[in-house]
Amino acid sequence: MAGSILCSGTCRLRNVPSLLDITRIGEILSALGVKVSHSQGILDLDASEITQSKAPYDLVSQLRASFFVAGPLLARLGVAQVPLPGGCSIGDRPVDLHVKGLQALGAEVIIEHGVVHARLRGNRKRLTGARIYLDFPSVGATENIMMAATLAEGETIIENAAQEPEVVDLANFCRAMGAQIRGAGTNRIVINGVPQLHETEYSVVPDRIEAGTFLLAGAITRSEISLSPVVPDHLSATIAKLSEIGVKVAIDAPDRIRVLPTEQFRGTDIETLPFPGFPTDLQAPFMSLLTLAEGDSMITEKLFENRLQHVAELNRMGADIRLKGNIAIVRGVPQLSGAPVQGTDLRASAALVIAGLAANGMTTVRGLNHLDRGYDNIEAKLRGLGAKIQRAQEADIPAAPVESKLS
């Protein structure tokens, strides 16, 4: 969506879910002058008349991804003013790599009163290609720099680039608009800048984290679930770990995965890493599954310092998990018990929903504002698979546990 700023015409995106984050960045784009229309999975974006170079603080503070508009605004207008995004419940995610990348492309960047002011240096008309080495393969920094470089003069090389499928998808979208990008999906991306990009229509890649969440929901309830459309290669680390603990996963077609009922599975060790390693976004949901595994598991969160807040809530449901810094030791138990729990972030909320599906009695998950950021109508999809689950208002939740509910 932020990349549409690079095009001085209309872009149509297909396969766009109704998520809270989609709404929020749509509001930010609208404030910049982009015409946004979203209906039935189709998102139309018309950035032909951008009227603002400053993103509004009250909207940016609600969504870290809003900083992605900095690179496209700078490339398109030669100036961008974007407030520093607000804090993040799962840990610190500074924008210094973004800023260094934009500076390398020829931008003068000053941070004053919580706002990043970026503009072209001197009398330059366009950004200038550069060789940029990222100290860490940040997905956000890779994407922001790559977007800015599409309209820069000359060649830009991003070394130690993030390799996530989402980076590849963004590169493919930019290419569909006429950008010259190669190497996306490797640690070295090369962009040859062009004077302008053109209108396009593009289908967004299937969400590998939502797919992984449903695979884990099937595994924890010992159910058979078939998922489509998915890209199995995007889930290779997750599938490998499921196979390692004894859960059977079948790839029935190039775009279809099926998890098979498995009565017993064993513990394992997991370490979150940048792609193609095990995804940090599936660490919490996978932990829910391992609470019912035979034996002990060790989960090491290496990417975010505060992404184990779900441990206390899973223990409230009868799990046996001990924390030591960024390491969780999970000792499998025979059964989880329904309990009132609080989702503290997007993936923690999904983990608690998964745990509630397998728990004995009613689980009430609060904090659905987090869940709605990344899952479109998850309760209806789970109900369609036979889950006893519903969304309820606070006043409608009974005091005595009867069956699973969301609130």
Residues taking part in catalysis: 88
Burial of 264 per CB tally in 10 Å (0-12, 13-18, 19+): exposed
Give the number of other Cβ atoms within 10 Å of residue 273's Cβ: 15
Handedness of CA 285, 286, 287, 290 (dihedral sign): positive
For tokens 């975010």, name the residue: 304
The amino acid at residue 122 is G
Give the span between the Cα atoms of 171 and 93, in whole angstroms.
23
Residue 247's contacts (CB-CB under 8 Å, 6 or more residues apart) are: 219, 259, 260, 262, 265
For tokens 């790559």, name the residue: 146
Q: What is the DSSP letter of 204?
A: P
The amino acid at residue 140 is G
Residue 286's contacts (CB-CB under 8 Å, 6 or more residues apart) are: 216, 238, 241, 270, 299
For tokens 């078939």, name the residue: 226
The tokens of 346 are what?
A: 């997007």
Closest CA to 331 of 318, 342, 341: 318
Give the span between the Cα atoms of 250 and 256, in whole angstroms.
9
Q: State the pairing for strand pair 10-14/200-203.
A: parallel
Contact of 81 with 117, CB cutoff 8 Å: yes
In order, the DSSP letters of 120-164 are ESTT-SS-B--EEE-SS--HHHHHHHHHHHTTSBSEEEEET----
